[in-house]
Amino acid sequence: MKGRWALLALAVCVLVPLVGLTGCTYNYPEPVGSPTAASAPATAAPQPRDNTEILEREAENYAELYRQLRAAPSPVLLSEAGPLDGPVRGFGKFEKVPTAGQYTVTAACVGARGAKVSIGQEHPGAPFRPVELELGCGGSTSQVIALEQGYLFAHLVLPEPGDTPWTGAVGGVRVTGGGPGTDPPRLRN
């Protein structure tokens, strides 16, 4: 019996508001002189943009970037590249540093006036001080840095927020070497 009353109370609570709203109508007349769908001018669908030229330039820029970042004789710990502009831009990557030692960071960009790459590690209790390499996009830039065992990050620091015109410019970073007693390689500019 108790269950029937609960079911009846639930039905009344749900149905009373619905019945009360069924008689309501809302009428908002259109103001005189307002545009309607019938009077709207017909517009053509946007045509897709031909990005063939930019894609070809980007492919050429990647080929040049990989030439500038060519592998050193020591093992590659981290390697990443990405676009500097356009619809999808930037890059970032984490890798595990197996042993503490001296590592060479080489970065480059092609097709732009410049870029910045940030490389670093974060350790509990230690101040966070990433290395930032300013790139002139005229060749590769290298720097030897000391890394501890743990994780290393490298990412492109984008110069401007928001959308930028797509030109096909690219940038990349490669970290090589490492281990105890590693002789620091000579710097290239």
Residue 86 and residue 92: Cα distance in Å, rounded? Answer: 16
7-57 confidence digits (pLDDT tens):
656 555 555 555 555 555 556 566 555 555 455 555 555 555 678 899 999
136-178 confidence digits (pLDDT tens):
888 899 999 999 999 999 998 776 665 668 889 999 999 998 7
Nearest to 156 by CA among 175, 129, 135: 135
Domain count, the chain: 1
Residue 142 and residue 115: Cα distance in Å, rounded? Answer: 14
**Residue 70 covered by a domain:** no
**Residue 103 covered by a domain:** yes
**Residue 87 covered by a domain:** yes
**Residue 127 covered by a domain:** yes
96-148 confidence digits (pLDDT tens):
999 999 999 999 999 988 889 999 998 777 777 889 999 888 889 999 999 99
Q: What is the pLDDT of residue 143?
A: 92
Segments forming the whole domain that contains residue 83: 76-177
CATH number reported for the structural domain that contains residue 123 in this entry: 2.60.120.380
Residues 78, 175: contact at Cβ < 8 Å?
yes
Q: Which two tokens stand for residue 133?
A: 């390499």
Total length of the chain = 189
**Residue 38 covered by a domain:** no
**Residue 20 covered by a domain:** no
